[in-house]
Structure 1
Amino acid sequence: MAKANSNKKKLSPDQHVELLKALEARFEENMSRHKALEWDQVLAKLEASPDKLWSLHEMERTGGEPDVVGHDKKTGEFIFMDCSAESPEGRRSVCYDRAGLESRKEHRPENTAIDMAAAMGIELLTEEEYRELQKLGKFDLKTSSWVKTPAEIRKLGGAIFCDRRYGQVFMYHNGAQSYYGARAFRGLLRV
């Protein structure tokens, strides 16, 4: 059974090549996001991490347009975040988490941000990470993104999301059970 699951999380040779081409093109087109980094360094890490490639493929498949936004000098990891202009289309209309979804009596969405991120092998951005991403460009001008909600807010039934309006980045709250066609989540992956 574990073998079947691992096969599901493996890219075909064509998917592997296509993903690396897309990531390299995005890397080269957006050098301001990762000054002083070279694609060859990133590629070597990617080639050594097939499970991470699968997660990046999921980010790409759902519209996240992942790109390198940093390098952790302590761990040597490259940090990828969803850099699509708007919140990823393939992840919209989801509640924040399973408890929020289960609390809905009717009109339940198909999934949750937390469950989708876990299935993809990525993390939701924190508010701080979201604000760092916004320093690299202008994201979510028409949409919004769920971000990792602190436990004390979640215990009270809430969840937080962010967007950019009027030239500013805002953080707001909703009930964790809410969902909207213009709200998804942005993810982070360390490779």
Structure 2
Amino acid sequence: MKDEIRNLSPEEREELLKTLKGRFEKNMNRHKGLDWAKVEAKLEVNSEKLWSLHEMERTGGEPDVITHDQEADEYIFCDCSAESPKGRRSVCYDREALESRKKHKPENNAMDMAADMGIEILTEEQYRGLQEVGNFDTKTSSWVKTPDNIRKLGGAIFCDRRYDTVFVYHNGADSYYAARGFRGSLRV
């Protein structure tokens, strides 16, 4: 994330909170037993987190709370768009992969975009957890955090859901496709 503090205007803040509350109430199956008032109270004192959620929303992620880490007392938001967020597709895995491409470079990469947005790219485990609260990426796929040993060999992993099953695949980290983006999470 860049060094400057990022804030939303009062109008953007109000609109985002309204959108998040509506999505939270519409999808209670994602966060059974959680109370929006407690989530909102956390958001009110974390303006930088609101900015990150705004970026998730702006790029098509449709962020929603999927769990509460009781030990850390943090709510975990995740991109819950049905397909990989539209504003984050056609990107390779990381900067090293982007710089290694000789021709037809994509405009960006997943790891830098996530960092700029102040979010974390999902791990395979988190991706599987997300799939427990809904069916996501049935037509698209999403890069996930790749283990160092795979990345050092030039690869990266991505996931999707087909045939009612979550699949994990590999590709060269420098590859990119119109139907592959990435999903992120944010702790508040």
* Alignment match of 2:47 (pick from 45, 50, 57): 50
Match of 1:12 in 2: 9
Distance 1:174 1:18 in 2: 39
Partner residue, 2:59: 62
| Residue among 144, 148, 151 paired with 2:148 | 151
RMSD: 1.0
Question: By how many angstroms is 1:179 displaced?
Answer: 0.2
- Alignment length (residue pairs): 187
Output the amino acid matched with 2:73: G
Separation in structure 1 between the aligned mates of residue 115 and residue 142 of structure 2, nearest angstrom? 16
**Which residue of the partner structure matches residue 83 of structure 2?**
86
TM-superposed deviation, 1:175: 0.3
Tell whether 2:123 aligns with 1:130: no
Q: 2-side partners of 1:70 and 1:57: how far apart?
A: 19
Query: Is the counterpart of residue 97 in structure 1 residue 97 in structure 2?
Result: no
The AA in structure 1 aligned to 2:61 is G
Q: 1:1-29 CA distances to partner (integer Å, 9 max, x unpaired)?
A: x98x32xx110111000100000000000
In 1, the alpha carbon distance for the partners of 2:88 and 2:13 equals: 22
Superposition deviation, residue 152 in structure 1? 0.3
- CA distance in 1 between counterparts of 2:185 and 2:172 reads 23
- Aligned match of 2:103 in 102, 106, 110? 106
Match of 1:32 among 19, 24, 29: 29
What SS does the corresponding residue of 1:43 show, helix, strand or coil? helix
- 2 CA distance for matches of 1:184 and 1:20? 25
Alignment partners' CA distance in 1, 2:171 and 2:57: 27
For structure 2, which runs of at least 5 residues remain unmatched after alignment?
A: none
Equivalent position amino acid for 2:29 in 1:
S
What TM-score, normalized to structure 2?
0.98
Residue 113 of structure 1: how far off its partner (Å):
0.1
What does residue 23 of structure 1 align with?
20
Amino acid at match of 2:33: A
Q: Which runs of 5+ in 1 are unaligned?
A: none
